Amino acid sequence: MNLITIEDINAPELDVFERLSDRQLYRYFEPDEGVFLAESAGVILRALEAGYEPLSMLVETSRLEDEAGPAFDAIEKIWGREKRESIPVYTADSELITRLTGYALIRGHWMILRRKPVSSVEEFCRGKKRIAVAFDVENPTNVGSIFRNAAALGMDGVLLSSDSVDPLARRSSRVSMGTVFQIPWTMAVKEECRETALIRTIQSYGFKTVAMALTEDSTGIDNDAIRANEKLAIILGNEGYGLPKEVIAACDYRVMIPMHNGVDSLNVAAASAISFWELLK
């Protein structure tokens, strides 16, 4: 291992671990794919197993063996011993790392990995029967939860609109428990998301689209006729305003989760779990 002990909180080598935002990391090092930060041992291990290339690591000295050991083994297995020995592994005591981040580091382990090119919407949709569509979902916690629900409940993948948050943002991937690396996903470009264009594109690939929306013509989610469709795309909207009216109107179905006690809706992540479960029966 290429161990490098850090004693200065202002060391420039630490910029990528804390002082650069997720957006800045997106274009750091590489003009095309960029890099991202994964934190916690389980998330890092899943990223490595999914074939994302490791570039550098930061780990608390006391957790070097237990927390980082499986990552080192995975790097050697996938990328070879030379890669394992060449990656910079920055180590520091817990006090310095807490001063750097402002809080106790999640399980003491971060890694910078290179991004992969994302597939086109057409390529993503090919061969799939059940997909989730995150339409302008802006909260990384919600995106991470949607991925975890989609993976756990058997969805074939997640398609995100261009204004949704990056699923590889550190909080998204951590909340997902690394499932962002386990199921297929892609993000449409802005031109593909104007007005109802994304819905029309999905429909052109044979999917019936299901808008999760409270409208006068919404049907209950326990619907055998909807389940009977060979290909379904479940459309989930923004945390604040939901789905745009024109998007709702363009979808083949409008579906609601019955509410009680005067509650009008659920958080989008909670709604995703219920909709995936019901519509995959």
Structural domain boundaries in the chain: 2-114, 121-279
Query: For residue 195, with 0-12 CB atoms within 10 Å meaning exposed, 13-18 middle and 19 or more buried, which class applies?
Result: exposed
In 3D, which of 91, 93, 73 has the Cα closest to residue 83? 73
Q: Which class in CATH covers the domain with range 2-114? A: alpha beta
pLDDT mean over 190-204:
96
Is 133 or 22 the better-scoring residue by pLDDT?
133
Task: Retrieve residue 132's tokens.
Answer: 């989730």
CATH topology agreement for domains 2-114 and 121-279? no
**Residue 55: pLDDT over 80:** yes
**Residue 20: pLDDT over 80:** no
Query: Beta strands 253-256 and 219-220: pairing type?
Result: parallel
What values do phi and psi take at 169, rounded to 5? -55, 145
Is 147 or 65 the better-scoring residue by pLDDT?
147
CA dist., res. 139 & res. 128, Å (int): 26
CA dist., res. 205 & res. 190, Å (int): 19
Q: Which class in CATH covers the domain with range 121-279? A: alpha beta
